[in-house]
Copies of this chain bind each other. A is one copy, B any other.
Amino acid sequence: MTNIELYHHFREQNKDRARLLIKCPDQPGIVSAVSTFLMNNGANIIESSQYSADPEGGNFFIRMEFSCLDLHNRRIEIEQSFHEVSTKFNMEFQFLYVSDVKKTAIFVSKEQHCLMELLWEWQNGDLMMDIGCIISNNENAEQLAKSLNIPFYYIPANKDIRAQVEERQLEILKEHDIELIILARYMQILTPNFVSHYPNQIINIHHSFLPAFIGARPYERAYARGVKLIGATSHYVTNDLDEGPIIEQGVERVSHHDKVDDLKRIGRNIERSVLARAVKWHLQDRVIVDGNKTIVF
């Protein structure tokens, strides 16, 4: 199947599926109210996960995936009638429809292993997203993007022209209705202005096991410290460098035999699998940001 055929198949298969994400102060009766609401609206709960930050007075989080006949035509009605429940329990909530495949942009620099992995899992149907564009400050991914009919934008970038570069990037993102930006080893720092346009919608992969080795050259520093495991961390981008909510982490064993280049080579495999998992969970609406942490349902 081509990716266009994959989409159509996926959308058709999931046209009656949605996810309801809720955050509210913990109190008795929430599950009862939500599940009764869904039942009364003819929905069948397929999967449900919940989390009480602190049963005595913290927040309560729930993700319910449900199916409902003729969902497409009943969206507005269901969302509106949920206000009664949400008001009673003081809920923040979102209905997310599985057939609304998310539009994403992939940012990349010279190293392409994370881009390759994302494209591979996407072609394979494992990452259900609509890649609106690839933006790079390096030309080397152009051929690949074109061969897959993905719009490619080569935008040289450096510290001195950051403002113009981001302005251009924001235009492109708007043009493509991007809902999620994936930094697949994009080696430029984003300004607070840029980040503010996409709160909890930018996923980065940092090439260390955070909070160890925040910042530049983590493999060199891991080598210098003589660690026996190296790692990678995928997190939402905030204005504090490498300090955003962590979605996923992974590690691999290394030994004294491994030089910096070996750590980078081993690290590439960790980076691409950690990033792909984090993106997949986001696309499946499994990640809820709670302060500077994530709940991954």
Interface residues of A (CB under 8 A from B): 27-29, 31-32, 35-36, 38-39, 42-52, 55, 67, 113, 116, 120, 124, 126, 147, 209-213, 225-229, 231, 245-251, 255-257, 265, 268-269, 273, 290, 292-296
Contacts and interface: CB of A to CB of B under 8 A. Distances in A.
Nearest to A247: B228
A126 B261 CA distance: 11
A-B pairs, 3 with minimum CB distance: A226-B293, A32-B35, A212-B212
Count the copies.
4
B55 A28 contact: no
A241 to B, nearest CB: 14
Contact of A47 (B50, B113, B256): B50
Given A31-B48, A35-B32, A265 B126 contact: yes
Give the interface centre of A45, A48, A265, A273 by most chain B CB atoms within 10 Å: A45
Q: Is chain A's binding surface mostly helix, strand, loop or mixed? A: mixed
A96 to B, nearest CB: 19
Contacts of A227: 210-211, 246, 249
Nearest to A125: B265
A212 B250 CA distance: 15
Given A36-B36, A210-B225, 11 more contacts: A27-B44, A28-B39, A28-B44, A35-B35, A147-B147, A209-B209, A211-B212, A227-B246, A229-B249, A251-B251, A256-B296
B228 A249 contact: yes
Nearest to A144: B147
A226 B251 contact: no
A226 B245 contact: yes
Contacts of A273: 269
Contacts of A28: 39, 42-45
Contacts of A50: 45, 47-48
Contacts of A113: 120, 124
Given A42-B28, A113-B124, A295-B256, A209 B226 contact: no
A67 B293 CA distance: 27
